Amino acid sequence: MNLSMEGKAMTKNVANPEDKDEVWKKSGFAGRVQSLRENGLRKDDIGIYLTPEQEEFLREATWESYRKIQLREVPGRMSNAQYKMKSDLIASWRAHLQTVRLLRELFVFERRDPDAAAWFKAKDARKVLDKEAVVEIVGTCVDYFGQEYADAILERLRNAYGARGEEIVIQRRP
């Protein structure tokens, strides 16, 4: 059924599976999930694990976003079960981010020399906070939330360098 609105084709149709598969691959999500599987993550590992139902939900969410943004189609509505799954995933992701903050507490007495710690060393923290993962998280925040997050990150960096007696200058240009 075609619901045209001001020249924009707003359709509500069901796509064939090949289209969804292609979008899933293009999004990068399929590759990320496959990489997690290949690296041996299992249900009882600490970290990211998706049930088949969660993976399918995220696949559908990716498809609906693609439809809305790229095809300018009316996205399908979430069912009550999908709303619940979305809520559960967000709570899980938030909880994982909160547990990462425990790393900071492990080094509370050794901030200047994390390798001086007794049981957890800097190399242990780097296993969790590898440079690429941190840069990706920071980049995602800046991409989605813009100047507010960028300014907070820059302020944190300025304070870190300042604590070491260094000064960094940030210059914005219109």
What digits encode the pLDDT tens for the residues 71-92?
A: 888 988 999 999 999 999 999 8
- Write phi, then psi, for 5 (nearest 5 degrees): -135, 115
The four Cα atoms 43, 31, 98, 105 give a dihedral, to 10 degrees, of 90
Domain ranges (residues) in the chain: 1-100, 113-174
- Ramachandran class of 70: left when φ > 0, alpha when ψ lies in -120 to 50, beta otherwise: alpha
The DSSP-derived string for 66-125 is HHHHTS-PPPPPPPHHHHHHHHHHHHHHHHHHHHHTHHHHHTTT-TT-GGGSSS--HHHH
- Average pLDDT of the residues in 152-171: 88
Measure Cα distances from 62 to 19, 75, 138, 143, 161 in Å.
12, 11, 22, 18, 40
What digits encode the pLDDT tens for the residues 43-64?
A: 544 445 678 888 889 889 988 9
What digits encode the pLDDT tens for the residues 96-136?
A: 888 888 877 777 666 666 666 677 777 788 888 888 888 88
How many whole angstroms separate alpha carbon 65 and alpha carbon 18? Answer: 16
Q: How many other C-beta atoms are found inside a 10 Å radius of the C-beta of residue 57? A: 21
2, β-bridge pairs: 11
Reported as a pLDDT band with limits 50, 70 and 90, residue 143 is very high
Measure Cα distances from 168 to 43, 109, 151, 161, 171 in Å.
44, 26, 14, 7, 10
| Listed residue (39, 94, 95, 28) closest to 65, CA to CA | 28
Res 128: pLDDT: 80
